[in-house]
Amino acid sequence: MQKFLARAGIASRRQCETFIAAGRVQVNGQVVRTLGTRVRPDRDRVQVDGETVRPETLVTILLHKPAGTITSRSDPQGRPVVTSLVQPGGLPRLFPVGRLDWDTEGLLLLTNDGELANALTHPRYGVRKVYHAKLKGHPTPESLARLTRGVMCDGEPLRALRVELLHPTRQNAWIAVTLEQGRYRQVRRMCEAIGHPVLKLIRVALGPIRLGSLPRGQWRLLLPAELQALRALVPDADSSGA
Ligand code: URA
């Protein structure tokens, strides 16, 4: 039951459990308070607070977020939001999985699968994210090593799993940073702490999903194999319906 409600986009599975316990859920007109009650989506009429629940098809897409967009569905200040880039196409209401800064570009997943989104952003799973960062100046190997040893930023220990020097230009250096953590502006704060501010930041991978050559501002559906690989990362999320 709670899985059915979560998949229909009502709320997270945990929240749906509280709705059931509170007697807000009815099946075929009867209040059901037992977690795990079986639902036959084709035959049973399920209501929450008297409203009939219609199961949604689960959709997950990959967007190449451009810089200068907000990772949100709406912005009180009227700035461009990522979901406005995927409006056409008859997609259901999608929500960003995690967050990229206004000035960060690259791989952003959007989904209506609340279970999958929660799991992918939960620190328990430590899903790996890879960023390419253009730094001001040329960091020494020693200062890059500080990123994997850990740096204190505003009293918070931040650490990269892996850092690799990609290629230097005359004034700058490009590095690849792999994170398991996902703290606020983490790459920018860490690089600032070693004295090399980030000039440009692109997320190129999230777990098994790669940005590849998808042009900036474009999106595509995830392939079945990509979805399977994502779900294998977060087995407890169980949004597959299996
Ligand atoms: N680290 C940052 O500094 N910004 C992002 O958007 C993501 C990771």
* pLDDT, tens only, 179-190: 999 999 999 999
Ligand 1: atom nearest CA of 185 is 3
| Cβ atoms of 161 and 180 closer than 8 Å | yes
CB atoms within 10 A of CB 38: 9
Ligand 1: atom nearest CA of 129 is 8
Ligand 1: atom nearest CA of 101 is 6
CA–centroid distance, 4 to ligand 1, in Å, is: 34
Hey, what domains does the chain have and what are their CATH numbers?
Answer: 2-52 (3.10.290.10), 60-124+208-233 (3.30.70.580), 128-206 (3.30.70.1560)
Model confidence at 240, pLDDT cuts 50, 70, 90, reads very low
DSSP conformational letter for 37: -
Q: Using CA atoms in the order 109, 114, 119, 122, what is the torsion angle rounded to 10 degrees?
A: 90
Ligand 1: atom nearest CA of 182 is 8
CA–centroid distance, 133 to ligand 1, in Å, is: 10
Give the Cα separation of 72 and 77 in Å (integer): 12
Token output for 89: 């196409």
Say which of 42, 44, 75, 101 is annotated catalytic: 101
**Which residue's C-alpha comes closest to atom 3 of ligand 1?**
185
Per DSSP, the three-state class of 135 is: strand
pLDDT in tens, 117-141: 999 999 999 999 999 999 999 999 9
pLDDT in tens, 76-118: 999 999 999 997 667 888 999 999 999 999 999 999 888 899 9
Token output for 186: 């983490």
pLDDT beyond 60 at 238:
no
CA–centroid distance, 202 to ligand 1, in Å, is: 9
- pLDDT on residue 88: 63
CA–centroid distance, 165 to ligand 1, in Å, is: 18
- 101 in active site: yes
Mean pLDDT of 154-166: 96
How large a percentage of the chain has pLDDT more than 90? 75
Q: What are phi and psi of 61, to 5 degrees?
A: -125, 160
Residue type, 45: R
Per DSSP, the three-state class of 168 is: strand
Strands (E), the chain: 25-27, 30-31, 46-48, 51-52, 60-65, 95-96, 105-111, 129-136, 151-153, 156-158, 162-168, 172-179, 198-206, 209-210, 219-221
**Which residue's C-alpha comes closest to atom 2 of ligand 1?**
185
* Average pLDDT of every residue of the chain: 92
Please tell me the pTM assigned to this model.
0.81
- pLDDT on residue 239: 52
DSSP conformational letter for 58: P
Cα Rg of the chain (Å, integer): 21
Ligand 1 site, CB within 6 A: 100-101, 104, 185-188, 201
